Amino acid sequence: METVACNLCGSQQHTPVYEMPDRLFFPDEFFTVVECDHCGLGFVNPRPTIAEVQKYYPPEYYRTPPTSSHDRYVTRRFTQEASYLQELESRNGRKKLLDVGCANGDFPRFMAARGWEVEGVEISESSQRITDFLVHTQEFQDIPVNEPTYDAVTAWAVLEHVHNPMAYFQKASTVVKKGGLFVFLVTNFHSAASRYLFREDIPRHLYFFTRETVRQYLDKTGFTLEKEDNGRNVYKLAPNNWLSFFLRSRLRGKKFTYNDVPLTSKEFRRLHQLPNGIAAALQYAAYSPASVLDRMLWPAIEAAQVLTKNYGISTYAARKL
């Protein structure tokens, strides 16, 4: 483990915001998320070093169901992601894209089909090998490209995972052509899901951004922020347990800690060895009526959050100056 200063402003002054474990793989290992007193950046501190963090990315982490280009959800997501690059497509000549954190390469492939020349960056050894276009297999800041080369660099849900986001912003500034775009999606540290509801994927997520901290990163690295989309069009971060949080924290004025989070229905069934069915559903409803009501309220809660720009996910498009 290592203790770090703020990646954005260098300050050593920060305040704990919450503690939670690695819910996916190591439920007994707790981590603290802090907020920089000076600039407001959120980060895990102390945190696993680059060598130590590998343990939190076991092969199961990458074992997502294979996506097919006919999958309607994925196609809709890629179409939404591509919309941020549309204005560049109307310019003359073939455009070049670098997708950082390209995983199995489906998004660059989608853009190649729209006429783009594509490259990717992917450091995960567990992700499947890509042979149909160039993929750099080192950290973004270490790829052997050191001049303005790309019309656009994209990074979908990547910056929260890396140990040094500033190096990523700086590298993007080096390799994006003047007038080109850096488009990235991150979780929103202003949202209830990120800040209060223990929905961040810790310690795989190490950094937590807001529009203010994103703006400061961009100012320091030669970009200007052109667009921020807060919402659930690309990825979702559902406000699970918002009602439990609201009842405890807002109505009763008590701190909502990880111990106050009700078991999920799946965890509840496992604990009581109940088969999935009506009987288990009724027992779960009796155990946590708030969870059941919460699930019913999601659409309304999410709609309100999107409307007030407090949803858990934000996409930013920044122009290279």
Q: CB 195 → Zn ion: shortest distance, Å?
A: 17
Which three-class secondary structure string do you get for the chain?
CECCCCCCCCCCCEEEEEEEEECCCEEEEEEEEEEECCCCCEEECCECCHHHHHHHCCHHHHCCCCCCCCCHHHHHHHHHHHHCCHHHHCCCCCCEEEEECCCCCHHHHHHHHCCCEEEEECCCCCCCCCCCCEEECCCHHHCCCCCCCEEEEEEECCCCCCCCHHHHHHHHHHHEEEEEEEEEEEEECCCHHHHCCCCCCCCCCCEEECHHHHHHHHHHHCEEEEEEEECCCCCCCCCCCHHHHHHHHHHCCCCCCHHHCCCCHHHHHHHHCCCCCHHHHHHHHHHCHHHHHHHHHHHHHHHHHHHCCCCCEEEEEEEEC
User: For tokens 């559902």, what's the residue?
Assistant: 238
CB 294 within 8 Å of CB 193:
no
Of 23 and 38, which has the nearer Cβ to Zn ion? 38
Residue span binding Zn ion (CB under 5 A) among the ranges 29-37, 92-100, 138-146, 281-289: 29-37
Residue span binding Zn ion (CB under 5 A) among the ranges 10-18, 25-33, 258-266, 273-281: 10-18
Of 34 and 41, which has the nearer Cβ to Zn ion? 41
Q: CB 205 → Zn ion: shortest distance, Å?
A: 17
281 is a site residue for Zn ion (CB under 5 A): no
Which tokens sit at 162? 């890396």
Q: CB 50 → Zn ion: shortest distance, Å?
A: 21
Residue span binding Zn ion (CB under 5 A) among the ranges 36-44, 80-88, 126-134, 220-228: 36-44
Residue span binding Zn ion (CB under 5 A) among the ranges 38-46, 66-74, 235-243, 305-313: 38-46
Question: How many degrees, rounded to 5, is the angle at CA 252 between CA 34 and CA 241?
Answer: 60
33 is a site residue for Zn ion (CB under 5 A): no
Q: CB 56 → Zn ion: shortest distance, Å?
A: 24
Q: Looking at 38, 211, 232, 309, which residue binds Zn ion (CB under 5 A)?
A: 38
23 is a site residue for Zn ion (CB under 5 A): no
Of 5 and 225, which has the nearer Cβ to Zn ion? 5
39 is a site residue for Zn ion (CB under 5 A): yes
Residues belonging to the chain: 321
Ranges within 41-60 binding Zn ion (CB under 5 A): 41
Tell me the backbone φ, ψ of residue 252, rounded to 5 degrees: -105, -5
Residue span binding Zn ion (CB under 5 A) among the ranges 28-36, 88-96, 153-161, 230-238: 28-36
**Closest to 173 in 3D by CA, of 197, 153, 198:** 153
Residue span binding Zn ion (CB under 5 A) among the ranges 11-19, 215-223, 262-270, 286-294: 11-19
Of 108 and 165, which has the nearer Cβ to Zn ion? 165
Q: CB 213 → Zn ion: shortest distance, Å?
A: 8
Q: How many residues bind Zn ion (CB under 5 A)?
A: 8
Of 42 and 262, which has the nearer Cβ to Zn ion? 42
167 is a site residue for Zn ion (CB under 5 A): no
98 is a site residue for Zn ion (CB under 5 A): no
11 is a site residue for Zn ion (CB under 5 A): yes
Which residues make up the interface to Zn ion (CB under 5 A)?
6, 8-9, 11, 36, 38-39, 41
